[in-house]
Structure 1
Amino acid sequence: MKILIGAATLVAATTMLLGLSAPVLASGDDDNGDRREIGDYEFSSGSPDFVHGVPINPEEAWTLAVGGRIYDNWWNALDVAEPRGTHPAYPEIGQKSGEQTWRCKSCHGWDFLGKDGIYAEGSSNYTGIGGITGAIGRPVEQIAALLRDENHLYTTDMINDEQMGWVAAFVSRGQIDVAKYIDLTTRTMIPGAGDISRGRGIFQTVCAACHGFDGRLLDWGDGDSSNFVGTEASELPDEVLHKVLSSHPGAAMVNLRAFPVQFSVDVVAYAATLPVD
């Protein structure tokens, strides 16, 4: 048996020690370079960039996560030029301007309810535009076509057809019922919605690699004002929940999209207990 790589050596050695049959190993070339297979699994020795790359065999979880990042901020998610000027369809009553008006979340919110959710009248993000929950379950092609219309104005130069399919898949299959976990009036976690103990375990073994155990390793604050993950989770739990599920656009951040939604809720519930300054 010809061993191709170190990982294969480990697999082969393990199976021999356990008295099992070694997996079939195969090698081959494709357009992505030196691709190898171990059983049903494929990977490339020239692994695509985690932040902006595309896996050889994208799973549903990856598709929904990248779609969620495009919904958040498509130019950072896709590493393309940001749009210029204010979106022509952005309402005059809105308080945003410039490229921020081109983000899906700027009108529809992190809860996907638009004017009927956290971005209701009185919010600094209010636009009077409704949500997108009515698109849940709709065909991806139908949603993609809608995003190309004269109202949304997303061209192929901004988001190509493959990428549009990702965000359309997110709109169709990736939305969650945020109101189950977050009080949309107070914008706080609903007591008991998250398991803080389980969230602590996930945070300490995953999130702490970047944020630190107390959540203060990364600081987005300006000047003397700190802004940690604890600050964000306390003040903007809906946004943090979205990013735990999909990652922050343009950042090498892990996400929990492949796991039950409840795990992400647990992480946000725990993060809200961390220091805010």
Structure 2
Amino acid sequence: MLKSAAFGALAALMISAQTVAADVSAEPQEHGANQQEFVHGAPQLPSLEWTLAAGGRIYDNWWEALDRPAPEAINPAYPVSAEQKGTGTWRCKECHGWDYLGAEGIYRQGSHFTGIKGVMGMRGRPAESLMATLRDGNHPYTPEMITDEEMLRVATFISEGLTDMRAFIDYETRTVIPGAGDFTRGRAIFQTTCAACHGFDGRAMDWGEGDAHNFVGTEATELPDEVYNKISNAHPGAAMINMRAFSVQDRVSLLTYIATLPVDIDK
């Protein structure tokens, strides 16, 4: 009886998984209450890898990462000549870029240009020595927004967690450099981890609207620098695994593979 019940449950799970994979327009799901600790909490004995990923998520979007109210007014330190408005101006990546190079990187032109330098030059400095900079007038984050403990995660991320993406992204075309990663290795990682949510072809989750589909393959093709961040640190506020325990080369290989996945329904 137990074996029969277990088989029935497994069959139902497989059917459910197939249904989700087939529904390529499924909306991304909010995390449940049982995932709150994983998404927004911290382990009692944090590993360096966890700390780097947590700092990376705060760098990406601190209010989503920390489950705090989003600021409404524009960041007072955001340049008045720049184009972005409102809440988004409080994100570290908005000034310093997904590639950490700021005005010298991918954000050297376009709607995200601010003229502000990146944080790559801080890489390798002791995290504690970066705290004064992260709390100065150019970074008006109060302890109610980001506590000192949480800000130290950002400092650790900047000190030890940055990757120079110029080694695997073509900055003229903003695409993954062919052969930068190992396609076979990336496929193995994707099919045994990422596919649990994204599906084997990457189309089980769709962030697009209407007929404009936006799959993980679309993102990797158009915004590889952002996707590399999500691979390394996970998406803030989502019950998504990160690949910090994998090597940089493994993460580049994963990005290389994802960039070959379908970008539309019919492909």
Match among 97, 100, 113 for residue 109 of structure 1: 97
Q: Kindly indicate whether the alpha-carbon contact (under 8 Å) linking 2:218 and 2:263 is maintained by their aligned counterparts in 1.
A: yes
User: Which consecutive unaligned segments of at least 5 residues does structure 2 have?
Assistant: 1-33
Match among 89, 107, 118 for residue 119 of structure 1: 107
Q: Deviations over 1:117-157 (max 9, x none)?
A: 10013x22111111111111222222122111111111101
Q: Kindly indicate whether the alpha-carbon contact (under 8 Å) linking 1:133 and 1:175 is maintained by their aligned counterparts in 2.
A: yes
Q: Deviations over 1:217-271 (max 9, x none)?
A: 0000012210000000000001000100000000010111011011111111111
Displacement of 1:47: 9.3
Q: CA separation in 1, counterparts of 2:148 and 2:199?
A: 38
DSSP-derived class of the 1:49 partner: helix
Moved over 4 A (4+): none
Q: Quickly say closer, same or farther: Cα 1:47–1:99, change in 2 above 3 A.
A: closer
Please list, as runs of the form range in 1=range in 2, the aligned pairs for 1:59-98 lying within 5 A after superposition.
Answer: 59-98=47-86
Q: CA separation in 1, counterparts of 2:252 and 2:35?
A: 31
Q: CA separation in 1, counterparts of 2:132 and 2:143?
A: 11
Match among 149, 152, 163 for residue 176 of structure 1: 163
Q: CA separation in 1, counterparts of 2:106 and 2:185?
A: 27
Q: CA separation in 2, counterparts of 1:74 and 1:125?
A: 18
Q: CA separation in 2, counterparts of 1:185 and 1:153?
A: 33
Q: Kindly indicate whether the alpha-carbon contact (under 8 Å) linking 2:77 and 2:137 is maintained by their aligned counterparts in 1.
A: no
Q: CA separation in 2, counterparts of 1:145 and 1:110?
A: 22
Q: Kindly indicate whether the alpha-carbon contact (under 8 Å) linking 2:207 and 2:213 is maintained by their aligned counterparts in 1.
A: yes
DSSP-derived class of the 1:50 partner: helix
* Aligned counterpart, 2:41: 53
Q: Kindly indicate whether the alpha-carbon contact (under 8 Å) linking 1:48 and 1:54 is maintained by their aligned counterparts in 2.
A: no
Max Rg structure: 1
* Aligned counterpart, 2:234: 247
* Aligned counterpart, 2:173: 186
Q: CA RMSD in A?
A: 1.3
Q: CA separation in 2, counterparts of 1:270 and 1:93?
A: 38
Q: CA separation in 2, counterparts of 1:104 and 1:117?
A: 15
Displacement of 1:92: 2.2
Please list, as runs of the form range in 1=range in 2, the aligned pairs for 1:250-261 lying within 5 A after superposition.
Answer: 250-261=237-248
Single out whichever of 124-133 and 65-74 deviates more from structure 2. 124-133
Match among 199, 208, 215 for residue 202 of structure 2: 215
DSSP-derived class of the 1:119 partner: helix
* AA in 1 matched with 2:238: A
Q: Kindly indicate whether the alpha-carbon contact (under 8 Å) linking 1:215 and 1:275 is maintained by their aligned counterparts in 2.
A: yes
Q: Kindly indicate whether the alpha-carbon contact (under 8 Å) linking 1:246 and 1:256 is maintained by their aligned counterparts in 2.
A: yes
Displacement of 1:83: 1.1
* Aligned counterpart, 2:14: none
Q: Quickly say closer, same or farther: Cα 1:117–1:47, change in 2 above 3 A.
A: closer
* AA in 2 matched with 1:103: R
Structure 1 or 2: more strand by fraction: 1
* AA in 1 matched with 2:137: E
Q: Kindly indicate whether the alpha-carbon contact (under 8 Å) linking 1:48 and 1:55 is maintained by their aligned counterparts in 2.
A: no
Percent identity between the aligned chains? Answer: 60
Q: Deviations over 1:1-46 (max 9, x none)?
A: xxxxxxxxxxxxxxxxxxxxxxxxxxxxxxxxxxxxxxxxxxxxx9
Match among 131, 151, 163 for residue 138 of structure 2: 151
Q: CA separation in 2, counterparts of 1:164 and 1:201?
A: 35
